[in-house]
Structure formats: structure tokens, C-alpha cells
Amino acid sequence: MVNGLLVYWTKINSFVLTLGTSYVFAGLNLGITHATPFYHIPGEISAFGQARVGPFPVMAAVTVVLTLLLAGFLYQVVLGRQLLAVGSNPLAARLSGLPIRRATLTAHAISGFLAAVAGTMLMAQLGQGQPTIGATWVLPSFAGPIIGGAALSGGSAPVLGTVLAMVLISLIDDGLVLVSADPFWVQFLIGALILGAVVLGRTRLSEIRALLRISPSATRRAGSIR
């Protein structure tokens, strides 16, 4: 919510601002913990992190439930639809009377909540708290939504596409490890996927803009031809 308030007050691009505040929070984290791992995790939490039903980890159920809840919120709840509208065109949303501040705060609060859930799940899986873990996850967390079809300009949040993109990134990462490939190829492939997704998104956006530039008379002529 702090990030949301800062974005609303300063009007700074949210990606740039949250990237900057992440270093502030990381510094607080390391200052409080002195980068020392915490090993006194309750046994119930560690057991949950390691539990499986057949080949499937129980923690996967948390991911499925959160995915369904997020999709339902964005596409079925009024505030979720307002959030997408504000992300797509803040000026039009403001002129339409939508609650800009509430939508901005909600978006960043949900992001922070999901990050906290992910950190807790990882702690349960590892059986310890690692203050320094996650520093290399900025690129994958950015790549997932972009590869999944999210628009850099905002207004598009393909939840299922993001989940499938993260599965793809994990498969690439684990697959290259299994074949003993150079780990630098992981970054290369993820970077190539991001570039490809961005180019594809820009191409689709250009096509949509070209269609919107068609004059009403041309549209009527096309209708008469049909």
C-alpha cells in the first residue's frame, strides 16, 4: 500500500518506483536480519511445505486457489474491472469518475500480498528463512506476465497466461539444469522470450490502432460489400 500511495502521489511510473523501493525494503531486511538465515521454523509449516498427494505438492493447491480468486476478482468484481480500466487509460478512467486512488492502492496491495504468500510458501518448502533469497527473481517475475500476454501499458491481466508462462520458464530452467547446460543460457532464453512477447504485443497493438483508424464511411462500405 505504501508503493500504491507513492505511485498515486508522485505519478511516477509504477515499475520504476517499485523497483526503487524494492532496494529500500531489501536494505531494511538485511539490516534487521544481518543476512542471517532463520532456522527455527515450526514443524507444521515445514511439513506443509514438503507434503505431497501422489506426485503433486500440496502447496500447488494454494497456487490454484489464489489463481482462481485473482481471476474472479479481476473479471467479475466491480473493483477488479475498475482496476483494469485505470491501468488501461488513467485519464479516461478519471473522467469517467472511477476511483483512481482506490484502484492504484488495491493493485499494489494485491501485489504485495501475493509476494508475501510466495515468500511464506518458499520458507515452508525450504524449512528456513533466507533473507537473501529472491534477489535474482526480478527478471522471471517481470517475464511471466509479459510472456503471458500482459500489456506493458497496463489494462490487460491474463491470469491463466501468466501462470502458463511461469510454468514455461520453470521448465526451461529445470530442463537446462537436467541436461547440464550452461546456466547463462537460461537468462538468454528468458530474455529472448521477453523480447519476442514484447514485439508480438506491439505488433498486435499496431494492428488494433490501424483498425481503429478506419473511417466510418470505409466501415459502411465494407458492410455493404459483405
Q: Which cell goes with 23? A: 532496494
Angle formed by the axes of helices 159-178 and 184-212, nearest 10°: 150
- The pLDDT-based confidence of 226 (bands split at 50, 70, 90) is very low
CA distances from 203 to 72, 87, 157, 160, 199 (A): 29, 20, 18, 22, 6
Query: Alpha-carbon distance 22 to 44, whole Å?
Result: 30
How many C-alpha atoms does 150 have within 13 Å on its Cβ side? 21
Q: Which cell goes with 20? A: 526503487
Its pTM stands at 0.77
Q: Please, are residues 83 and 106 in contact by the beta-carbon 8 Å criterion?
A: yes
Phi, psi of 175 (to 5 degrees): -65, -40
pLDDT tens digits, 38-89 = 888 888 888 888 888 888 888 888 889 999 999 999 989 998 888 888 888 8
- The pLDDT, as a whole number, for residue 219 is 40
- Sorted by where each begins, the domain ranges of the chain are 1-135, 138-226
- The pLDDT, as a whole number, for residue 108 is 92
Q: Please, are residues 18 and 10 in contact by the beta-carbon 8 Å criterion?
A: no
Task: Look at 11-25, 53-67, 149-163, 184-198 and tell me which has the smallest mean pLDDT.
Answer: 184-198
Is 217 a residue whose pLDDT tops 70? no
Higher pLDDT, 172 or 12: 12
Per the listing, cell 467479475 goes with: 76
pLDDT tens digits, 106-138 = 999 999 999 889 888 888 888 888 888 877 777
Give me the sign of the Cα torsion angle 195, 196, 201, 205.
positive
Task: Look at 89-93, 101-105, 205-209 and tell me which has the smallest mean pLDDT.
Answer: 205-209
* Mean pLDDT, range 200-218, rounded to an integer: 59
Residue 99's identity, in one-letter code, is P
* Mean pLDDT, range 93-97, rounded to an integer: 86
- The pLDDT, as a whole number, for residue 65 is 92
Query: Alpha-carbon distance 14 to 90, whole Å?
Result: 13
* Mean pLDDT, range 21-41, rounded to an integer: 87
Query: Alpha-carbon distance 44 to 37, whole Å?
Result: 19
- The pLDDT, as a whole number, for residue 179 is 77
Per the listing, cell 478519471 goes with: 94
Percent of the chain past pLDDT 70, that is, above it, reads 87
Helix (H) or strand (E) holding 53: strand 52-53
- The pLDDT, as a whole number, for residue 175 is 80
Is 98 a residue whose pLDDT tops 50? yes
